[in-house]
Amino acid sequence: MTTPSLLILPGDGIGPEVMTEVRKIIDWMGAKRGLAFDVSEDLVGGAAYDAHGTPLHDDTMAKAQAVDAVLLGAVGGPKYDVLDFSVKPERGLLRLRKEMDLFSNLRPAQCFDALADFSSLKKDVVAGLDIMIVRELTSGVYFGEPRGVFDEGGERVGVNTQRYTASEIERVARSAFDLAMKRDKKLCSMEKANVMESGILWRDVVTEVARDYPEVALSHMYADNGAMQLVRWPKQFDVIVTDNLFGDILSDCAAMLTGSLGMLPSASLGAPMTNGCPKALYEPVHGSAPDIAGEGKANPIACILSFAMALRYSFDLGAEAARVERAVEKVLADGARTADLMGPEGGVPVSTSGMGDAVVAALDASL
Ligand code: NAD
């Protein structure tokens, strides 16, 4: 069997800091579980611009296409705000997503019991929450044509077009059904079929795909009701699949049920490669946090949990992914908190590396 390959792109700001902690977990997997990864590292975002005058060098793009999975830290920072749009750090990330054709964006919303008090909702509503939102990422109203601001009879008109082909809906639906099969076998599809033709097509195609997944209980919900249900009783859901625009909003809403930005991982998946695994980019939801960069205050858990997603979805190592997640849970239950997780009662926060070391110690204890 060939060694699974992983390209690490730490990026800017706190990206390199949190990635250092992920490297500890990767090294632990090699040393203690005999799971070696062929790890390479390269530049993205502002770091790549500083070195090459572009936020993503062609060689890095080629490497990303060739590996089994890419793990990215974060890009951006005030230093780069003055750059032309075409070379801004975020363009590097967008190019990766576009050229790897990552159409399925997985955003888990998982509430660790120790952090249930952090949610803006009541503890019993969120404690133990574990849901997954699958957002279509490469089509829909953010990409549809025509788009623009036009002059129409002397008045300016802003236009965006919601457009989905059946095959675009089918592939993201399949990815959501596959995911549901690995979880509680419950899938809720959200659209606005009551007022949007693209929603009618969405519902039709998802219903057709469901025939190939008889074990999965499929339900449909209008996206506005979905938003209400997410804050009313989120535990009614397991996997949610929705389009690009609704997914953008609903996944942010669900993410905040669980507390800090520093806790949220994500995965973006594309079509299967020759080895059967999907093209994949894993990254924390947070940005480069320039306000705390270099201070050892960043919470590395979002990035560590992103690596856990890579273990599960790219390397078929679900048991090892669960081991990492349980280690994070234990560390939090034992009271370790980075500054972003400190409650009003205060206390002494652990540093970025302190949190990484604590997760490694919890992994050791799991053996
Ligand atoms: P941000 O996510 O970087 O930070 C928002 C707030 O959350 C800040 O107060 C920050 O200190 C805090 N925070 C974020 N991650 C944290 C962590 N792991 N631990 C502790 N605290 C954390 O968002 P922003 O301030 O709007 O953007 C800063 C830069 O990041 C901008 O250049 C933006 O374009 C970029 N950005 C990049 C990505 C990405 O790489 N995917 C995503 C969002 C923003």
Out of 50, 101, 130, 142, pick the active-site residue: 142
Q: How many domains is the chain built from? A: 2
Q: How far is the CA of 14 from the centre of ligand 1 (A)?
A: 9
pLDDT tens digits for range 293-322: 999 999 999 999 999 999 999 999 999 999
DSSP class per residue in 244-291:
HHHHHHHHHHHHHTT--GGG-EEEEEEEE-TTSPEEEEEEESS---TT
pLDDT of 261 over the 90 cut = no
252 is catalytic: yes
Out of 12, 42, 68, 248, pick the active-site residue: 248
pLDDT of res. 41: 98
CA angle 177, 180, 186 (to 5 degrees): 105
pLDDT tens digits for range 318-341: 999 999 999 999 999 999 999 999
How many CB atoms lie under 10 A from the CB of residue 365? 9
pLDDT tens digits for range 219-245: 999 999 999 999 999 999 999 999 999
Residue 124 domain-assigned?
A: no
Domain final residue, candidates 222, 257, 292: 257
What pTM was computed for the model? 0.93
Largest Cα–Cα separation, the chain = 72
Same structural domain for residues 253 and 149?
yes
Q: Going by CA atoms, what residue is nearest to atom 11 of ligand 1? A: 289
Instruction: Kindly indicate the confidence band of residue 343, based on its pLDDT and cuts at 50, 70 and 90.
Output: confident
192 is catalytic: yes
* Contact present, 223 and 213 (Cβ < 8 Å): no
pLDDT tens digits for range 2-50: 899 999 999 999 999 999 999 999 999 999 999 999 999 999 999 999 9
Residue 193 domain-assigned?
A: yes
| Closest approach atom of ligand 1 to CA 339 | 20
Same structural domain for residues 272 and 246?
no
Residue 118 domain-assigned?
A: no
Helix (H, G, I), strand (E, B) or coil at 4: coil
Same structural domain for residues 157 and 51?
no
Same structural domain for residues 313 and 225?
no
Residue 335 domain-assigned?
A: yes
CA gap 179, 182 in Å, rounded: 5
Residue 123 domain-assigned?
A: no
- Percent of the chain whose pLDDT exceeds 90: 86
Q: Please, is 222 exposed, middle or buried when counting C-beta atoms within 10 Å of its C-beta (0-12, 13-18, 19+)?
A: middle
84 is catalytic: no
Same structural domain for residues 253 and 141?
yes
Q: Which residues surround ligand 1 with Cβ inside 6 Å?
A: 14, 74-77, 90, 93, 261-262, 283, 286-292, 298-299, 302, 340
- Percent of the chain whose pLDDT exceeds 70: 100
Same structural domain for residues 309 and 210?
no
Same structural domain for residues 329 and 242?
no
Same structural domain for residues 230 and 289?
no
Same structural domain for residues 135 and 253?
yes
Domain final residue, candidates 233, 257, 281: 257
* Contact present, 101 and 38 (Cβ < 8 Å): no
pLDDT tens digits for range 141-173: 998 999 999 999 999 999 999 999 999 999 999
Same structural domain for residues 9 and 88?
yes
Our mutation pick for probing the ligand 1 site, out of 263, 288, 359, counting the most ligand atoms within 8 A of Cβ, is 288
pLDDT of res. 272: 87
pLDDT of res. 114: 87
pLDDT of res. 1: 66
| Closest approach atom of ligand 1 to CA 301 | 18
Residue 125 domain-assigned?
A: no
Same structural domain for residues 100 and 218?
no
pLDDT tens digits for range 85-112: 899 999 999 999 989 999 999 999 999 8
* Contact present, 101 and 270 (Cβ < 8 Å): yes
Same structural domain for residues 94 and 177?
no
pLDDT of res. 259: 72
CA gap 164, 171 in Å, rounded: 12
List 280's β-bridge partners, or say none: 269
Tell how strand 278-284 and strand 265-272 pair up. antiparallel
Residue 116 domain-assigned?
A: no
* Contact present, 88 and 299 (Cβ < 8 Å): no
pLDDT of res. 277: 86
142 is catalytic: yes
268-287 average pLDDT score? 92
* Contact present, 94 and 50 (Cβ < 8 Å): no
81 is catalytic: no
Q: How far is the CA of 187 from the centre of ligand 1 (A)?
A: 31
Domain final residue, candidates 257, 289, 304: 257
pLDDT of 292 over the 80 cut = yes
Q: Which amino acid is at 79?
A: K
Residue 156 domain-assigned?
A: yes
pLDDT of 178 over the 70 cut = yes
pLDDT of res. 347: 78
**Cα separations in angstroms, 202 against 196, 207, 209, 256:** 10, 9, 11, 27
Cα R_g (the chain), whole angstroms: 21
Q: How far is the CA of 120 from the centre of ligand 1 (A)?
A: 20
Of 320, 310, 319, 306, residue with least CA distance to 68: 310
Domain assignment of residue 134, given as a range:
130-257
Q: Which structure tokens are listed for 141?
A: 């109203």
How many CB atoms lie under 10 A from the CB of residue 93? 23
Domain at 194, CATH number? 3.40.718.10
If you average pLDDT over every residue of the chain, what do you get? 95
Q: Going by CA atoms, what residue is nearest to atom 8 of ligand 1? A: 289
Q: At what angle do helices 352-365 and 301-313 cross, to 10 degrees?
A: 40
Instruction: Kindly indicate the confidence band of residue 342, based on its pLDDT and cuts at 50, 70 and 90.
Output: confident
Q: Which amino acid is at 190?
A: M
* Contact present, 315 and 68 (Cβ < 8 Å): yes
Out of 224, 291, 334, 364, pick the active-site residue: 224
pLDDT of res. 36: 95
